[in-house]
Amino acid sequence: CYASYIAHVLRAQRQSTEEIPCADVELTSELIRRFSKMDNDEVLGVIADIIQERATEPWPEDILQTIKAIALRPLKKEEDSNSSDEQEKSAHSLYNHVLNRTQGQAIRAITSLLFENHAHFNIYRDAITTLSAVSEPYILLALVDCATACYNIDPKYAIDLFKKLVAADVQVMISHYTWQLICRDFQNDPVFYRQSLINGIESGVVDLGKHTASLLCAVAVYCNDAESLDYLLNATFTNEQANSICRQAASCFAYDEHREVSKQIIVNMANKHSTDFHALGPDFFKKHIVIARDKQFLLELVQANSGDSMLHALSRYLSETDENIVDFAEVILAVTKHSPEFKDKGLVRVGVD
């Protein structure tokens, strides 16, 4: 049979549907035993996907070992591409390889198995350690997810693995699991994590820079890290990075213990960047602002170069709020002074009884 045909048949075993149920574990295992002997990336990748999708099921020992063997297959020369233009432009593009290259698919399967059954750690620990020495970025990225699964089993091993991966290639911090690992260990090595995030911000990789800027803001706020806050207030950021920082700070605004530092970060970004901050829209003002408490913050925000859309959102909020007009008269005057929408009119329509 052609490999593509076999792969097509195997794909039907990834997930059950109401119309077409999967074969049970025993029959699927027989299919895997038969076709895993093929030296074909497409077939082996589908086998890994089957286990990843059905990680809750009780797979036999030899099938678990098969996934380990697939993960440890030697990389082909065309896959050893850690300096490709695509990766330089986008760290997130590495996920394309995690999802579509055989070793990446196998590591995803191992990760799902570890999340579901901690006993599998004894099978895969040595393979994970071996793979962490590989220089291929997409494999290192896949292992960050794996490290997160390992944290519930052996926290020290997981953190050591994560730090090794970050030190090898800062692009792995694009992982959506990065914050989970950093927040659990930041106080044990703040210098390493802070500098790694700064390296990501300054890497020149656009999506990585935005993501790590947001993470550094989270560190400054949630971990009360003064050095990270100092960097945020004094470093130079792109408009995209500033937007990510502002979005993160806005998400912290609801918490009493984090509100003041969030205000400081938001106003600082607004003063330095003439751009519309997407996080400072109608929902932000409606959900988080109490004018009597936040009047000074609003005045500083209006006076900053925070974009026309923010001023429009604020003026809309002021016109709809039930708070006493006396409490925000100064804010109204500031909006009419700085907003192009109201400069000529000299007023903001405010709903009052």
The yes-or-no verdict on residue 185 having pLDDT over 70 is yes
How many angstroms separate the Cα of 58 from the Cα of each of 68, 113, 236?
Answer: 16, 10, 52
What's residue 19's pLDDT?
A: 67
Confidence of residue 30 (pLDDT cuts 50, 70, 90): very high
- Between 20 and 184, the more confident residue is 184
Digit-coded pLDDT (tens) for 187-235: 999 999 999 999 999 999 999 999 999 999 999 999 999 999 999 999 9
Of 1, 50, 46, 3, nearest in space to 25 by CA: 50
Point out the least confidently predicted range of 86-90, 195-199, 233-237, 324-328.
Answer: 86-90
The DSSP call for residue 74 is: P
* Torsion angle of the four alpha carbons 287, 288, 292, 296, in this order, in degrees rounded to the nearest 10: -140
Six token digits for residue 269: 């970004």
What's residue 78's pLDDT?
A: 56
The yes-or-no verdict on residue 177 having pLDDT over 90 is yes
Q: How many alpha carbons fall within 13 Å on the CB side of residue 159?
A: 15
- Between 180 and 83, the more confident residue is 180
Cβ proximity of 166 and 172 under 8 Å:
yes
Residue 208 backbone phi and psi in degrees, to 5: -65, -40
Six token digits for residue 205: 């990789």
What's residue 149's pLDDT?
A: 97
d(CA 98, CA 118): 23
Question: How high does pLDDT run on average in the chain?
Answer: 88
Of 286, 252, 256, 255, nearest in space to 266 by CA: 252
Digit-coded pLDDT (tens) for 138-166: 999 999 999 999 999 999 999 999 999 99
Segment 325-346 shows an average pLDDT of 67
d(CA 155, CA 160): 9
Digit-coded pLDDT (tens) for 270-281: 999 877 788 998
What's residue 180's pLDDT?
A: 96
Cβ proximity of 216 and 198 under 8 Å:
yes
Residue 304 backbone phi and psi in degrees, to 5: -85, 170
What is the pTM assigned to this prediction? 0.87
Q: How many alpha carbons fall within 13 Å on the CB side of residue 154?
A: 16
Six token digits for residue 87: 């990766």
